[in-house]
Amino acid sequence: MKFIPLYICAFLVGILSYAQQTPAPAQSQEIIIIGATAHLGNGEVIENSVIAFKSGKLTVVASAEEKNLDASNAQVIYAEDKHVYPGFIAPNSTLGLVEIDAVRASDDEDEVGSFLPHIRSIIAYNTESKVVESMRPNGVLLAQVTPRGGQISGTSSIVQLDAWNWEDAIVKKDDGIHLNWPKRFVKKGAWYDPKVGYKADEKYDEKVQEIYSFFKQAKAFANQPEALLNLPIGAMQKLFNEEQKLYIHTDAEKDILDALHFKSELGLKNVVLVGGKYAHKVADQLIEHQVPVLVARVHETPEADDDDYDLPYKLPRLLHEAGVLVGLENSGQMERMNARNLPFYAGTVVAHGLEKEEALQLITLNTAKILGIDKQVGSLEVGKDATLFISEGDALDMMGNILTHAFINGREISLETHQTELYERYKKKYAEQK
């Protein structure tokens, strides 16, 4: 008799305990949701709604008082006093690229080098991530998986969060290239130093010229067969063919203006500003250049001493009122775990002056438009993917965001996670001790 070595047993047990729930099977039966308040994601609300979907697509979105459906062969969900929302979208996220920060082998968010447009984040995306799994109970059902580091970090892709592998997960492959614009002024001193200030980066102009040089070289080879011989240059061709977007990550007013000038000089069409902590100061120029903004995490303190204390909270409203297309992103400290708080960021924006349905658009239809996936997802409209969820209350409020059902492409997905399993385990333990 052969005995399996102990370390192999430990490895197998670890794999089993690590695995995510089995992805849901394809929708096989029509599903009808009756009686819920439907928040369509485009600013509209249907108080007493009927929503039907079949083969993963929405077929009916209407008032229950005006539409009678034959439910004889359908699964019916009665959702009176509940709310239906389109799945929330987390852009500029490293979900699935890092599992444990302290374990280098689980960290795939960054690559060695500076100009890396050929690095594709989707190849490293881990559908088995427990962090990804924990997004779904809060209604975050889609994400833009984005690399970090370097001057050009690489290429992002958009995924849905219930899949066997990265091929299954793809909603839009290689949607855009991410450029980290240099900072004209950088912080001096440690972040915890109360006297931390700013100093001019003496190499700012040199770094900008390097970006210009690389992009001009790539543009010169646009549609040329020899471009494929150089991986970084070849990876830029879809950008100049307008098949991809350029996401420019920068915050300061003058840096944003320099980035807009760069856009004009290179003749770039599909450009998105990411971060934009001072974008409200150049809102007119953003509108002129037709550049939308994925606003930095609103749950932050002000950047400068003379900023309004509530600037991060009200920035999305300021940009929206100026006429800029706005979405919310979540990069920063503990960004993967905090991505599940995306709906509550939108709720914070409501508390600082934006109408609730407008704030909902910041994490649904607006973001879908910015990412170029609004024909598929982002709102509850006939013909779009049935990616949605039912909540017991207001999904933008921590007390109301309690999901009862969630669907991706019509597939009813599990809302269980390792966290809910631990909750149930210890709840049972302490109940038995009473």
- Supply 181's token pair: 């614009």
Contact 199, 186 (CB under 8 A): yes
- The mean pLDDT of 287-312, rounded to a whole number, is 94
- Beta carbons within 8 Å of 35's beta carbon, 6+ residues apart: 48, 49, 50, 64, 78, 79, 80, 81, 82
Q: State the CB neighbour count (10 A cutoff) for residue 344.
A: 18
- The reply to whether 193 falls in a domain is yes
Q: Are residues 65 and 101 in the same domain?
A: no
Share of the chain above pLDDT 70, in %: 94
CATH code, 46: 2.30.40.10
Where helices occur in 241-355 by DSSP H, the ranges are: 253-266, 283-288, 311-322, 335-338, 342-351
DSSP strands (E only) in 342-418: 388-391, 403-408, 411-412
- The reply to whether 110 falls in a domain is yes
CATH code, 198: 3.20.20.140
Contact 400, 394 (CB under 8 A): yes
Instruction: Report whether pLDDT(4) > 70.
Output: no
Looking at residue 199, its pLDDT comes to 85
Q: What angle do CA 69, 75, 79 make, to 5 degrees?
A: 80
Instruction: Report whether pLDDT(8) > 60.
Output: no
- Give per-residue pLDDT as tens, 23-38: 999 999 999 999 999 9
Q: Residue 179: which of 91, 240, 115 has the closest Cα? A: 115
Q: Are residues 139 and 284 in the same domain?
A: yes
- Supply 199's token pair: 């100093």
Looking at residue 6, its pLDDT comes to 53
Q: How far apart are the first and last CA of the chain?
A: 47
Q: Are residues 236 and 372 in the same domain?
A: yes
Q: Are residues 77 and 94 in the same domain?
A: no
Number of domains in the chain: 2
Residue with the two structure tokens 């008799």: 1
- The reply to whether 388 falls in a domain is no
Classify burial at 394, counting beta carbons within 10 Å of its beta carbon; exposed 0-12, middle 13-18, buried 19 or more.
Answer: buried
Q: Residue 108: which of 166, 73, 149, 50 has the closest Cα? A: 149
For residue 275, name the pLDDT band (cuts at 50, 70, 90): very high
Q: How far is residue 146's CA from residue 294's CA, in Å, rounded to a whole number?
A: 13
- Alpha carbon 231 to its chain centroid, in Å, reads 27
Contact 48, 64 (CB under 8 A): yes
Looking at residue 70, its pLDDT comes to 82
For residue 13, name the pLDDT band (cuts at 50, 70, 90): very low
Give the predicted TM-score (pTM) of the model.
0.92
The kind and range of the H/E element at 419 are: helix 418-433
Instruction: Report whether pLDDT(327) > 90.
Output: yes
Q: Are residues 68 and 204 in the same domain?
A: no
Looking at residue 229, its pLDDT comes to 78
- The reply to whether 227 falls in a domain is yes
User: 170 φ, ψ to 5°?
Assistant: -60, 130
Q: Are residues 30 and 101 in the same domain?
A: no
Looking at residue 100, its pLDDT comes to 87
Q: Residue 136: which of 340, 382, 426 has the closest Cα? A: 340
The kind and range of the H/E element at 250 are: strand 245-250
Range of the domain at 53: 22-85
- The reply to whether 392 falls in a domain is no
Q: Are residues 203 and 343 in the same domain?
A: yes
Q: How far is residue 269's CA from residue 244's CA, in Å, rounded to a whole number?
A: 10
Q: Are residues 50 and 164 in the same domain?
A: no
Domain end among 359, 377, 395: 377
Q: Are residues 254 and 361 in the same domain?
A: yes
